[in-house]
A and B are shown apart, each in its own frame.
Chain A
Amino acid sequence: MYVKARVRIWTIADFIENPVEPLQSLVEQIGPRRPNRLIETPRMVDLTGFGAFLQRLRNEGMQPRLMGEFPVGDHPHRTDPRQDHIRLTT
């Protein structure tokens, strides 16, 4: 038996860097509630300091995996402010 589900996976780092594209694909696949409307991008959680937090976890001997490439320094990834809407291609 093979995997048949439609699966998409992003690391948190990748997602935070560019959330519009993944969300757009979700909306397109499930279908928008009201077609032909602009959909505002939801607000991301403020992850300022998350990289440092992960590093502290590691320092404590834990090993958070599958985070993607999160810089340890405080350089929060933010949504590009110009891209605050999801435009459906279909």
Chain B
Amino acid sequence: MGLWEQYRLRLRRKRLLIRALRKALALKPVANRTGQIRRRDVLLFATLRNERIRLPYFLQYYRDLGIGHFLFVDNGSDDGSRDYLAAQPDVSVWTTTASYKRARFGMDWINWLLRRYGRGHWTLTVDLDEFLVYPFYDTRPIRALTDWLDSCEARSFPAMLLDMYPKGPVDAVPYQEGQNPFEIARWFDSGNYTITKNDDLQNLWIQGGPRARLMFADAPRNAPALNKIPLVKWRRGYVYASSTHMLLPRGLNRVYDAQGGEKISGCLLHAKFLSTMTSKVQEELVRREHYIGSREYIAYSEALETGPDMWCKHSVDYRNWRQLEDLGLMSKGNWA
């Protein structure tokens, strides 16, 4: 990497950090229990808006994995999400009514929280519909993973977004509060993902899955990115550059082996395609607060109107992480 290149990336990183500080002025604490955070806790960071129905299962899932403390940014919920979260003993909540879009889809707020509270901790940044699956997650808590990553001197852990969907129309089976969403959305595409390397930030750009297959078959370039690096041992000066797809400094994005070997990786099971989606899509279309003129949401609303079935006869029924490992969607690396 040339000096100029180094300088350019450094400048970009600094700009993002300053931006995060500026945007964070809009955050007002609702419940700040960060004093309870213990030195080796794994912390979870998320932004949400009107996700009350998802919260109980989300919190339960990540508490079971061993998350020590949750830090949420509530973006003007009016469905009781904020109060529900504020009442939880292991949760800190900030709130804002500022524009999600102008906070780079919430990443500025999260970057600030990470900088303020994440330093020295393993931090997990996810959306409310993303559920982390890593090798042995059914028998080993997340601390086992982060301890092992520490011993490998690894600073980040990749988990590709895996879109899960039901059989039949997405709104056919209503999602109940507290329910495991993957009882309904239990299917996924196992082998139609494409990867390109982003030379600028060294990250891989992964696309594919049911959204590319059904909604972006004519314009695959526009299909959503599925690569994510949600788990990072945070240090001062780190910053998410675009959603949780990539980070700066860019060494954090080198989560893959380029010589043929396999590094460790997981999956983020994506519980987006549920009955909750119909109302969400309507709301987001009005708000227009999503990426590139909410292009994705426009495509969803078109697809929803025709009552699509994302399921096909080659869809795979989700069983466990070993299945995802066998299919080559994630890897144990040399963790045994």
User: Is there a direct interface between A and B, measured as CB atoms under 8 Å apart in the complex?
Assistant: no
